[in-house]
Structure 1
Amino acid sequence: MNTAIILAAGQGTRMNSQTAKVLHKVGNKSLLQHVIDASRPLVNSINVIIGHHSESVKKTTSNDDINWVNQKEQLGTGHAVKQAIPHINDNLICLILYGDVPLIKTETLQILTDKAESSGFSLLSVMMENPFGYGRIIRDSNNSILSIVEQKDASKDELQVREINTGIMAIRGSILKKYLKELEPNNSQGELYLTDIVEKAVKDNVNIASFICESVAEVMGINDKNQLSQAERAYQQNKASDLMSKGLTIMDPKRFDCRGELSFKDDCVIDVNVVFEGDNDLGKNVLISPNCIIKASKIGDNTHILANSIIENAVIGSNASIGPFARIRPETKIGNHSKIGNFVEVKKSSIENNSKVSHLSYIGDSKIGNDVNVGAGVITCNYDGINKFQTEIKDGAFVGSNSQLVAPVTIGKNATIGAGSTITQNTPDGQLTLSRNKQSTISKWKRPLKK
């Protein structure tokens, strides 16, 4: 196995943020983490060059197998790579990557590495319609690479070249070390440019292989928030395309976000503006209507999530209906053939099979059995300001509308709670329980009038 050097020391001033550039996110994963994950299958060691925000970068990155290398002064890409040289084996191929290029694919890096195994040195390039500002790949009549010419140094003819340097390369350790030693700061910034090793290698007749990447988005670097948003859309388009190729129906891929992993069975349909976060699992024939957010949840077969609902860290059974405008909070389990209706919030509760909470209710810290009906406006009063308490509603119970169940309390099996009741004590099985003041009418009362 080979090694990787990932440059992640830059300040990223154009992001206008207190967060390190490489810690900004695409698909809810940091730019740097994307690059680490893409390279990890191909290497047995990863060296990350850090500088600005180094502690936060280390703290927020999955780093079990990462060698962190500090670059105290940022003196160019060549200088950055030099910092990792003590950790580079002469005989292995070294992938040189950038922590702000999040969409690079493992498959692309594999091709680049394979080419370097044969030649010792390979570059990744891409064709751009408008290459302004990028270094051009200059080739000879045999299509061999001669050099990389920066925009400001390019001749009129060289400016017509559409093939640009991505900066990503694979190079044998011994070759990298040789030419890094020869780098000189031949520029006004006094920096060492890694690209200068290309021309030095050509002069020594090193055969530099190349691979032209098919996608500009895959190799785009992130320098500001506009580019970050472009990368996010490109990532989501790729994600949607991959999911659709596996059988997921997405009504509009341009209005789809998956910020994690999504598994699914046959005939699932995702409508517009649905956001998935974390790892989610859908059974077969699941329909998710517009404007829903699904976080780290499992949804059973034939279940319909209606519009504008939020489900987080929950398990939803089969043939269930959730929403519209429902909120299912963490540690909730909804049974098969159950219904959670509009403007219902459920938190840390279990609701078993064939039960319904249809309208405008709050269910918190509760155990609800099978075949229970909870009427509109029912509240489980689970919090006394300090502690949380549990409500249990046993199988077959019917809770009338606008009732308050003051926990801890148990509603008996097949019990009925009359509408408008405040229940503070356990209720018996199979009987009607209610608490109401006697209704009265005041005959001489008059409605107030404006003066």
Structure 2
Amino acid sequence: MQPAVLPEQRPLDVVILAAGQGTRMKSRLPKMLHPLLGRPLVLWSVRLAQQLGARDVVVVTGHGAQQVEEALHSSGVQFARQDQQLGTGHAFLTAAHRLRGGADVLLLYGDTPMLPLATLQNLLSAHRVGQHALTVLTSELPDASGYGRILRGESGEVLSIVEEKAATPAQKAVREFNSGVYVMDAAAPVLAGRITNHNAAGEYYITDLVSLYQQGGARVAAFKIADPGEVMGANDRVQLSQLETIMRRRVNEAHMRAGVTLQDPATTLIHDEVVIGPDSVIGAGVHLLGQTVLGEGVVIGPYSVVQDSTLEAGSLIHAHSVVQGARVAGGGDIGPFARLRPGTVLEAGVHIGNFVEIKNAHLHAGVKAGHLAYLGDVTVGQQSNIGAGTIIANHNGMDKQHTTIGSGVFVGSNSTIVAPRTLGDASFVAAGSTVTADVPEGAMAVARGQQRTLEGWSRRYWKGFGDRVAVKLPWLAGWLSRQH
């Protein structure tokens, strides 16, 4: 005889309903793919399911199914297509065919991203400890219009869930509402096949599972949470904006309590997967996006954007800089108005000044590029100096070419290095040069036309315009009158 499986040892499967059209979004983009704090709506629910340790996650798709499935293709979930939207019961049954059985089943929605992981953990625990067949997540509102109402018995058990359109005036006065989130035992997929559409809307309601369980003598319970905002959904862009505001505040407050200074939290946008070390200071209007990691004591000036980048301890990003897909070692000093593009690696103590753009480049320790430069597809050795106006001409019209600049190299202002080139250690490039050949170690390259000075040229030139100069440029006419 096999030993009984304890409730806490049962596997968990999660079904996420994401087939709705979302007409109130007024968008060609499926509702489930509208971004919230950098992540599509539906991916918040997928992430919760995975954090719960779900065995299988089945996402029910419908409107925009192909787009939704493509967006989630690498997330490890399964898909069930609901070609006709015939109600929540029908959607659940569509997913039930994908489940292996023998597990508790959690039902979530793709447009309710506010649910904390702890709430779902507590819901699951209450369901299993109480040995309930079905547990519905509920909350209370002063006016629960639009929601199904929870009708309880004398001992607190759930007798039924009444939809708004079918509720009596007395039932509409009930403040406890159905969130639509359920935990069910392994019988749910089988019982779902017995749901009918004998109602005014002609739809299959998942709430009918309550009576189906009760007919078999099973207990249905409710798990009520204090904050109804946790089950808040996004039906239009106004609600989506409200969710974003709440989520931003949650994330920002968590960082501040962990030792990060946000100089103006109301204007600071931080995606929830961003990691920030203590004693970092984040200026007003800063956006920290994607898979960004900040070490201890990083300072980011106002209105900078850092995306999918790593800034090691002590890095300084001045105002209005953009850092994307880059790694900056400790002591890096970037900006203001600098741009680090994907593939940029800056070693310790590198200084990148105003209006410098770097892409797919590796700058070793102590390199300085202070002003108005473009460094693309280049490796620069330690302690080299890149003068103002320097450009690495890395594209020949068809392909990108790589340039190697050695250590201790001095590149004069307003120089162009035509890739692919190699500049040896301790070499010099004279200001204004266009370098089209390699420069040996310790050598100096001068690649510019020889200057000629033509005395008296200006006087002869302007006098050719006669009286027009006196009319349009009187200051110049005065200067010409003084010339001999």
TM-score, normalised to structure 2's length? Answer: 0.85
Q: Report if the CA contact (8 A) 1:166-1:219 is conserved.
A: yes
Q: Which residue of 2 aligns with 1:387?
A: 399
Matched residue SS, 2:69: helix
Matched residue SS, 1:358: strand
CA deviation digits over 1:97-145, x for unaligned, max 9? Answer: 1112122233222222222221111111122344332223233454443
- Tell me, yes or no, if structure 1 residue 446 matches structure 2 residue 456: no
CA deviation digits over 1:54-104, x for unaligned, max 9? Answer: 222222204564332222221111121122334456653211111121222
**Residue 149 of structure 1 is aligned with which of 162, 180, 188?**
162
CA deviation digits over 1:350-378, x for unaligned, max 9? Answer: 11111210111111111211112212111
**Residue 34 of structure 1 is aligned with which of 13, 33, 44?**
44
Q: Which residue of 2 aligns with 1:292?
A: 304
Q: 215-224 vs 284-293, which deviates more?
A: 215-224
Matched residue SS, 2:422: strand
Matched residue SS, 1:294: strand
**Alpha-carbon distance, 1:200 to partner:** 5.5
Structure with bigger strand share is 1
- Tell me, yes or no, if structure 1 residue 7 matches structure 2 residue 17: yes
Q: Report if the CA contact (8 A) 2:192-2:206 is conserved.
A: no
Pairing of 1:77-116 with structure 2 (within 5 A): 77-88=88-99, 91-116=102-127
Q: Which residue of 1 aligns with 2:327?
A: 315
Q: Report if the CA contact (8 A) 1:90-1:172 is conserved.
A: no
Q: Which residue of 1 aligns with 2:382?
A: 370
Pairing of 1:165-204 with structure 2 (within 5 A): 165-174=178-187, 177-178=190-191, 181-187=194-200, 189-198=201-210, 201=213
**Residue 397 of structure 1 is aligned with which of 409, 413, 419?**
409
Question: CA distance change for structure 1 residues 149 and 357 in 2, over 3 Å: closer, same or farther?
Answer: same
Q: Report if the CA contact (8 A) 1:4-1:47 is conserved.
A: yes
- Tell me, yes or no, if structure 1 residue 119 matches structure 2 residue 135: no
Identity across matched positions, percent? 34
Letter in 2 for 1:440: T
Letter in 2 for 1:12: G
- Tell me, yes or no, if structure 1 residue 163 matches structure 2 residue 176: yes
Q: Which residue of 1 aligns with 2:481?
A: none
Aligned mates of 2:361, 2:83 — CA distance in 1: 52
Question: CA distance change for structure 1 residues 176 and 121 in 2, over 3 Å: closer, same or farther?
Answer: farther
Q: Which residue of 2 aligns with 1:222?
A: 234
**Alpha-carbon distance, 1:260 to partner:** 5.6
CA deviation digits over 1:278-335, x for unaligned, max 9? Answer: 2222222110112122122111221101111111111111111001111111111112
Q: Report if the CA contact (8 A) 2:195-2:204 is conserved.
A: no
Aligned mates of 2:76, 2:316 — CA distance in 1: 42
Q: Report if the CA contact (8 A) 1:88-1:94 is conserved.
A: no
Q: What RMSD, in angstroms, separates the aligned Cα atoms of the two structures?
A: 2.5
Letter in 2 for 1:323: G
Pairing of 1:404-415 with structure 2 (within 5 A): 404-415=416-427
For structure 2, the residue ranges without an aligned partner over 5 or more in a row are: 1-10, 473-484
Q: 5-14 vs 257-266, which deviates more?
A: 257-266
Q: 279-288 vs 431-440, which deviates more?
A: 431-440
Q: Report if the CA contact (8 A) 2:93-2:189 is conserved.
A: no
TM-score, normalised to structure 1's length? Answer: 0.91
CA deviation digits over 1:165-205, x for unaligned, max 9? Answer: 11001111325633651533311x31122223335656776
Q: Looking at CA atoms only, which structure, 1 or 2, has the larger radius of gyration?
A: 2
Question: CA distance change for structure 1 residues 144 and 362 in 2, over 3 Å: closer, same or farther?
Answer: same
Q: Which residue of 2 aligns with 1:44?
A: 55
Question: CA distance change for structure 1 residues 373 and 91 in 2, over 3 Å: closer, same or farther?
Answer: closer
Aligned mates of 1:133, 1:259 — CA distance in 2: 32
For structure 1, the residue ranges without an aligned partner over 5 or more in a row are: none
Q: Report if the CA contact (8 A) 1:115-1:210 is conserved.
A: no
Aligned mates of 2:161, 2:229 — CA distance in 1: 21
Pairing of 1:246-265 with structure 2 (within 5 A): 246-259=258-271, 261-265=273-277
Question: CA distance change for structure 1 residues 417 and 154 in 2, over 3 Å: closer, same or farther?
Answer: same
Q: 433-442 vs 322-331, which deviates more?
A: 433-442
**Alpha-carbon distance, 1:267 to partner:** 1.4
Matched residue SS, 1:115: helix
Aligned mates of 2:362, 2:191 — CA distance in 1: 65
